[in-house]
A and B are shown apart, each in its own frame.
Chain A
Amino acid sequence: MLTDGLFILFTVFAVTGAAGLVLFKHPMNGAMSFLVTLISLAGLYALLSAKLIFAIQLMVYAGAIMSFIIFVIMFLNIQEEDLPIEEGRFKYLIGGVIIVAPIGLFLSRVIKSFPGADAIITVEGFGEIKEVGLLLFREWLLRFEIVSILLLVSLVGAVVLAGTRRIAK
């Protein structure tokens, strides 16, 4: 019963935070709102007994990545007058909701087909560091390695698109 309540609480917070991220005009407010989403997601992981992911979500996402985002926003020093004027964004929002609504209804039907909360699907030691590590480096080794290429590409991209360039050769 308590878990159901917590689940509803975390989901509401996660969705509200995500909506806030999109709707707030100032990036700093958006970032704070995003933090709410990240922490509620950590709560959801905890409810799913994914202990390691819960800790990583808090430390890496809500901690490290979030502070990076805030550093960048502070570094850019965005004032109210720097922001673009967004006219009629609520019109777009309502239009978007109308387009997405059928997909939402469809998905809610899909979710109903999953087994309920009373079904136990976790095994002994689920979500522990050792189990995750074994899985990651045994069965998911190649995915783990190719993700590093993905990170490398984004690194090069950041340098190319934002860094100073030595052209003219």
Chain B
Amino acid sequence: MTNDFMLLMPLIIITAGAISLMLVAAFEKVTIEQASFCCMGIFGIAFLMQLSNCITGNVTPYETVFNNMLVISNFTRVAGLIILGCGFFTAMSAQTYFKQNNFCTTEFYSLITFSACGMLLLTMVQELISVFIALEIMSLAIYILVGYDRKNKTAAEAVMKYLMLGAFAGAFFTMGAALIYGGAHSTQFSSIGQFVAENGFFNNPALVAGSFFVLVAFLFKAAAFPFHAWVIDVYDGASAPITGYMATGLKTAIFAVFANFLVADESLRSSWVNYLFYFSVFTMFVGNLIAIGQDTLKRMLAASGIVHTGYLLIALVAVSADNFSGNVILYYLAAYAVGTLGMFAALSYLGGEGEKRKSFDDFKGLAQVRPYSAAAITIFLLSMAGIPPTAGFMGKFFVITSAIDAGQIALAVFGIISSILSMWYYLRLIISMYFHEATDSFEDTTSNGLAPIGTFILAACVLIIGLYPVII
């Protein structure tokens, strides 16, 4: 028996946790270590709460009071689970990261929790203005986290670029929402869907323009071509745990709301599918080209994030508005999230002071010095490249089969080609870890933090999710 309150419990825990962490930050006695444990605790409890909820169909909690703003379904539940897991492991790797990097204050963890609050809202909201507010809660917290290291010039550059371009995307979104309201007389997804079903889509210019702008804003946040230019610099400038968080949690939230918006009505979705086709193909190939040219690990991972956005767009093209479950998208997001989070957790403790180990060459011979870490990284890379029996392989498999089922054979072929291309840069790191003599002793890397534990849990998760896909 789950009632409305219990369904909203994860969101309430996260919000209350964020506010209390913010208040606790005022006390001198609280160390950042304790704050990170608190943050992990909040995420852990919220995760278990979310896991314990069983949902059948669409539930609208507090229908009259909230005026149908939130809709909870199994899709939002699993998306929420992924986000909460991302938050948990981010706090875990941040704990170790800040043993070597000294710019953390207790507010850091409060902001991670606040952005998770925005992400959770984003998965559930079914109304454009609330989407905007949730999007901004999430983005603002992420902007601040990116620029947290005030002395670091790359971080300052990253936050400036992200803030400016993000504000631009936000403006596009608001304009789109206004035009949709002008065209469909409502900002509620269900009413827009109803309106489109009754009056058609293409004979209403305001609606077409509005949904175009909204789509542009979503594509920007998801880092799809041609709105991908910011990703590399921003991911590079942010600290390793935050980059992992941005690449996973934020993407999950964006794709959840993207899918919710597209499936509002079948004709709305099908009219954009042709364009999304080109977006996804270009995103995959441009991302691959950028990734091949990168020399530093973080920039390569950022570019590979663009490629993964391309795969997710394939999954989005293949969803259907009738009987929408979104399993493929969620599975892919989960598979991608465990791989990427694990990678950044490993970078958090292997990076050293001020993230001095950056390029592929810096990780030469890691397998001799730190064999377990190297093995874990290899698992994550193989998963991202899509090699069986990892989660990434199953994710790509589901995406490509769903594309074939939806009749998008060309897209499936492009997806396979792109995944072969991506082997190049994933294997490059594996080769440099295993087939070179060690030049660095990695002595300064701590192994008594939580990040190594997190890395190995995530490495196990990659295999478990890959072998038992049913659990998601």
Contacts and interface: CB of A to CB of B under 8 A. Distances in A.
Contacts of B69: 142-143
B28 A157 contact: no
Interface stretch (B133-141, B276-284, B329-337, B437-445): B133-141
Tell me whether chain A's interface is mostly helix, strand or loop, or mixed.
Answer: helix
Interface string A109-124: 1100110000000000
A153 B141 contact: yes
The number of chain B residues touching the other chain, given as a range, is: 35 or more
B104 A166 contact: no
A139 interface: yes
Interface in A137-164: 138-143, 146-147, 149-150, 152-154, 156-157, 159-161
Contacts of A91: none
Contacts of A110: 179, 205-206, 208-209
14 contacts: A110-B206, A138-B67, A142-B66, A142-B69, A142-B70, A143-B133, A146-B133, A149-B114, A149-B118, A153-B137, A153-B144, A156-B111, A166-B28, A167-B105
Contact of B111 (A139, A140, A157): A157
Residue from A142, A146, A153 having most chain B Cβ neighbours under 10 A: A153
Interface of A: 106-107, 109-110, 113-114, 138-143, 146-147, 149-150, 152-154, 156-157, 159-161, 165-169
Given A150-B133, A153-B140, A167 B67 contact: no
B15 interface: yes
A110 B141 CA distance: 35
Contacts of A166: 28, 105
A154 B32 CA distance: 21
B372 interface: no
B179 A142 contact: no
Nearest to A144: B133
A133 to B, nearest CB: 15
B144 A156 contact: yes
Interface string B78-117: 0000000000000000000000001111011011001101
Given A141-B65, A149-B117, A161-B150, 8 more contacts: A138-B67, A141-B66, A142-B65, A143-B69, A147-B133, A154-B140, A157-B140, A157-B144
A139 B108 CA distance: 34
Nearest to B108: A160
B466 interface: no
